[in-house]
Amino acid sequence: MTLKSILISSLCAANAIFAATVFQNQVGFLTNGLKQIAVAEGAGQTLTLKDGEGTVVFTTEIPEAMPWVPSSKDASLIDFSEVTTAGTYDIFVGEEKVGHPIIISDNAFESVTKGSLKFFYFQRASTALDEKYAGVYARAKGHPDTSVKYHESTGHDIYLNETFSAPKGWYDAGDYGKYIVNSGITTYTLLQLYQQNKDYFDTLNLNIPESADKVPDILNEIRWNLDWMMAMQDKDGGVFHKLTTKQFAGMVMPEKAKSQRYAIGKGVEATWNFAAVMALAADIYAPFDSKFADSCAKASAKARIWAYENPYEIYKQPKDVGTGSYAGSNTWSGKIWTNAELFRITGEKVLVDSLRTLKYSRTRATLQSWSSSLMLEAFTIATNPKIFEKADVDTAKALIFYLADEYVASLDNNGFGVPLVKGDFNWGSNSVAANKGMVLIHAYILSQDEKYLNAAIAIADYILGRNPLDISYLTGYGVNQVMHPHHRPSQADGIEAPVPGMVAGGPNRGADDASSCGVNYAKDKAAAEAYYDNVCSYASNEVAINWNAPFAYLVGSIQAIYATGKTYDTTSTASKATYQLDLMPGPPKSKAKADTTENTEAIVKDVQLNPVQAGHRLVIKGNRVLLEKTSTDGTVKFFNLRGKKIR
């Protein structure tokens, strides 16, 4: 035996023991898109891709492995984008077949686009799901929400035993609550997906009950939630924070969860969210249902006035309520967001001033989430350069590129080729991933620079399997799928596989549910491995509408861009100033006096039931209601209800 052959045979023996492991998108790669996989324990060996006949279509030497901080394993990144023939291929390292089949097609992201949008149909409240659309996941009607009570936190007199009707909407997540703040970002994200990719989505069929009508299915689905949101606006323009039971239901089907439902809270967070979304909806639905669009525009303007007049109505979770709080979102950006969306449809100058405050927050760019809408207004402004002034457009773009460039930079020497960092792995980390993708898609739309599109594809690949757990986080798609999400219908329906098309929350270093699970699955784990595919794990394995929406946006935009060969044209006038709305805060001048008294009474009543915050109280001076703020040194200052200092 020569020395060389001894070396070769011992190398082969070593390979047999330390087989290379492949981490890859398990669903599909686009024919003309970026194609990457990550390989651990393979450096120095030869990797080949073979087609069904065994013909080698790609071969490379596996490069040195690199770390990726959120993973315990180092990996070598392989790029096989040069393979542009649709088909199914097997991966070999040396002679050994590894990983999962590589599927390449022009429509690789279409099934996941449809699936992640169909999820919203499965989440519909107040309706039965017919077998024709839901297949084995057909179910009875739950939560009619036609006699909803007012919780005292709404400011309504609970002794009157009034009820109101607010049916439809999507269940928020694995629970059956409906929350305005979270509906806001979700609905905006889906509306943008449509608005920016009309050619693709005008004809995409989701097989839902409205599929036969003339409205694009994605808009039919969104309408289900908008109808509910509309019903959450109180007569005075303020919007209730949420509609839930007082406590979470057990793990039962919707029709078995029969506890009384309440409107809970009424505050600026929900009201700004509502106002922004309704303004965008007014624009998008105008060609399909002008009456509805008109009512969206009016509801938006009315909500905005309420929010201006009640800036201190901050949602506080009542003591007797245990459902999700969605408390603490930033309201200054909700205000800018609303003014931006309303400016787009009215052209009213009074709305522009607040946009200027964006300048000061440029370096505070924060990824969008249910609690921060700053990037949402940035998306709207940056993609409408014909409507907004250059200074505002430049600021919005700066915000987007500030974040997008940071994500792209994180790809340097990154073994998995995934632009996520350790700090991303908290409750709902897959939505952080998908929302980063949404920023990157905007950077691509605005620059046409492929590095942003490629980084977005890397994030889609991550969620679909290129992660250290070799798991597809989208139920129903991929080889190793999530099987036990914290999702009440999936747990209670007696069907083994969960409802398809749901993005699981994902790894969470915090393991906030460790006590419910009886195990701390994050202990001694790398960030991207702190995940538990168990129904107990609401902090790593729940599903949620605001997690599915950015994923649908991400894969839907990527698919649409490759299918149509173009991106959203930001230079086309996206909309005209078509609405004339009453935008001035304060009661209409002609009836000023009567309304003031009425408002005063309403406000005072609210206050007694719902104190503002420590050191603040509302006082009546003459016929005016003022906010009195006492600081810790005892100084007292007075403000009017629009936040302006009086003395």
Minimum CB distance to ligand 9MR smaller for 72 or for 325: 325
Contact (Cβ atoms closer than 8 angstroms) between residue 577 and residue 342: no
C-alpha to C-alpha distance for 430 and 425, rounded to whole angstroms: 8
Q: Which of 111, 251, 210, 103 is nearest to 559 (CA)?
A: 111
Minimum CB distance to ligand 9MR smaller for 472 or for 540: 540
What are the tokens at 483? 């099987």
HSE of 195, CA atoms in CB hemisphere, 13 A: 25
Minimum CB distance to ligand 9MR smaller for 30 or for 243: 243
Distances (CA, A) of 129 to 254, 297, 471, 592: 11, 31, 29, 49
Alpha carbon 299 to chain centroid, angstroms: 23
C-alpha to C-alpha distance for 556 and 445, rounded to whole angstroms: 14
Which residues pair with residue 472 across a beta bridge?
A: 481
Q: Which of 115, 26, 254, 134 is nearest to 555 (CA)?
A: 115
Minimum CB distance to ligand 9MR smaller for 31 or for 325: 325
144: region left, alpha or beta (phi > 0 left; psi from -120 to 50 alpha): alpha
Contact (Cβ atoms closer than 8 angstroms) between residue 503 and residue 437: no
Minimum CB distance to ligand 9MR smaller for 345 or for 535: 535
| Catalytic annotation, pick one of 234, 486, 513, 529 | 486
Contact (Cβ atoms closer than 8 angstroms) between residue 215 and residue 287: no
Smallest gap from Cβ 523 to ligand 9MR, in A, equals 20
Minimum CB distance to ligand 9MR smaller for 33 or for 334: 334
C-alpha to C-alpha distance for 21 and 18, rounded to whole angstroms: 9
Phi, psi values for residue 599, rounded to 5°: -60, -40
Minimum CB distance to ligand 9MR smaller for 326 or for 388: 326
Q: Which of 116, 129, 115, 148 is nearest to 254 (CA)?
A: 129
CA distance between the termini of the chain = 96
What are the tokens at 174? 């694995």
Residue number of the CB closest to ligand 9MR reads 324
Question: What's the full length of the chain, in residues?
Answer: 647
Residues that bind ligand 9MR (CB under 6 A): 172-175, 177, 248, 324-326, 427-428, 516, 538, 542, 544
Distances (CA, A) of 148 to 126, 145, 270: 13, 6, 18
Smallest gap from Cβ 424 to ligand 9MR, in A, equals 13
| Catalytic annotation, pick one of 172, 221, 309, 542 | 542
Smallest gap from Cβ 273 to ligand 9MR, in A, equals 15
C-alpha to C-alpha distance for 12 and 446, rounded to whole angstroms: 50
| Catalytic annotation, pick one of 110, 145, 175, 392 | 175
Name the maximum alpha-carbon separation found in the chain.
105
* Active site annotation includes 156: no
Minimum CB distance to ligand 9MR smaller for 62 or for 321: 321
Smallest gap from Cβ 554 to ligand 9MR, in A, equals 18
Minimum CB distance to ligand 9MR smaller for 172 or for 461: 172
Contact (Cβ atoms closer than 8 angstroms) between residue 398 and residue 391: no
Contacts of 565 (CB under 8 A, 6+ apart): none
Q: Which of 332, 165, 161 is nearest to 240 (CA)?
A: 165
What are the tokens at 69? 């901080």
The arrangement of strands across the sheet holding 46-50 comes to 29-30, 96-105, 87-93, 46-50, 56-61
Contacts of 142 (CB under 8 A, 6+ apart): 125, 126, 176, 253, 254, 255, 256, 257
What are the tokens at 350? 């009074």
Contact (Cβ atoms closer than 8 angstroms) between residue 174 and residue 538: yes
Smallest gap from Cβ 180 to ligand 9MR, in A, equals 13
* Active site annotation includes 175: yes
C-alpha to C-alpha distance for 408 and 431, rounded to whole angstroms: 18
Minimum CB distance to ligand 9MR smaller for 309 or for 542: 542
Smallest gap from Cβ 376 to ligand 9MR, in A, equals 16
Q: Which of 97, 218, 246, 160 is nearest to 552 (CA)?
A: 218
Minimum CB distance to ligand 9MR smaller for 516 or for 520: 516
* Active site annotation includes 294: no
Smallest gap from Cβ 242 to ligand 9MR, in A, equals 9
Smallest gap from Cβ 418 to ligand 9MR, in A, equals 21
Smallest gap from Cβ 547 to ligand 9MR, in A, equals 8
| Catalytic annotation, pick one of 145, 283, 392, 533 | 533
Q: Which amino acid is at 13?
A: A
Strands 262-266 and 148-150: what pairing?
Answer: parallel
Q: Which amino acid is at 367?
A: L
Element (H, E) at 604: helix 592-609
Smallest gap from Cβ 181 to ligand 9MR, in A, equals 10
Smallest gap from Cβ 316 to ligand 9MR, in A, equals 14
Minimum CB distance to ligand 9MR smaller for 248 or for 337: 248
Element (H, E) at 186: helix 180-196
Smallest gap from Cβ 230 to ligand 9MR, in A, equals 22
Give catalytic residues, as residue numbers: 175, 486, 533, 542
